[in-house]
């Protein structure tokens, strides 16, 4: 999938610029699910700056969690993905599901879909 520009140290990350960070190198320092969550916390259409300290802090969304009744969490999770693959919103809903009672099935399904299991 094509994504928006990713900067690093104020410059566009690019092979020709020689300022790439490789996932293989990050895997030496971080669990795969943590890297995936970090990458999914950025919308694929929005440019962003890669900062490893944010990954080290397991960057959680700074946006407030949406107010979603527990009975609608599954519907809202899939609605977020259907809305231009809004993975940051889907992650916020997944976080709500982790704290809601009787949502273990949704958490398991959502983690599998996002590659976080």
| Domain membership flag for residue 104 | yes
Give the H or E element holding residue 7.
Answer: strand 6-8
| Domain membership flag for residue 65 | no
Are both 44 and 75 inside the same structural domain? no
d(CA 51, CA 8): 7
Per-residue tokens: 6: 């990713």
**Which pLDDT score is estimated for 22?**
94
pLDDT digits (tens, 9 = 90+) for 40-89: 999 999 999 999 999 988 644 456 667 888 899 999 999 999 999 999 99
| Domain membership flag for residue 64 | no
* Domain count of the fold of the chain: 2
Find the domain containing 47 and state its range: 6-56
The region that residue 21 occupies, defined by phi over 0 for left and psi between -120 and 50 for alpha, beta otherwise, is beta
pLDDT digits (tens, 9 = 90+) for 25-44: 999 999 999 999 999 999 99
| Domain membership flag for residue 63 | no
The region that residue 7 occupies, defined by phi over 0 for left and psi between -120 and 50 for alpha, beta otherwise, is beta
Entry pTM: 0.85
| Domain membership flag for residue 102 | yes
């Amino acid at each position: 999938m094509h994504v928006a520009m990713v900067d690093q140290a104020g410059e566009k990350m690019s092979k020709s610029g020689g300022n790439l960070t490789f996932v293989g190198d990050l895997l030496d320092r971080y669990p795969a699910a943590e890297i995936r969550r970090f990458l999914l916390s950025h919308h694929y259409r929005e440019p962003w700056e890669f900062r490893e300290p944010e990954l080290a802090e397991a960057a959680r969304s700074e946006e407030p969690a949406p107010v979603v009744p527990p009975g609608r969490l599954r519907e809202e999770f899939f609605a977020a993905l259907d809305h231009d693959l809004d993975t940051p919103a889907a992650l916020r809903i997944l976080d709500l599901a982790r704290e809601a009672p009787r949502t273990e099935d949704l958490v398991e399904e959502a983690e599998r879909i996002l590659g976080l299991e």
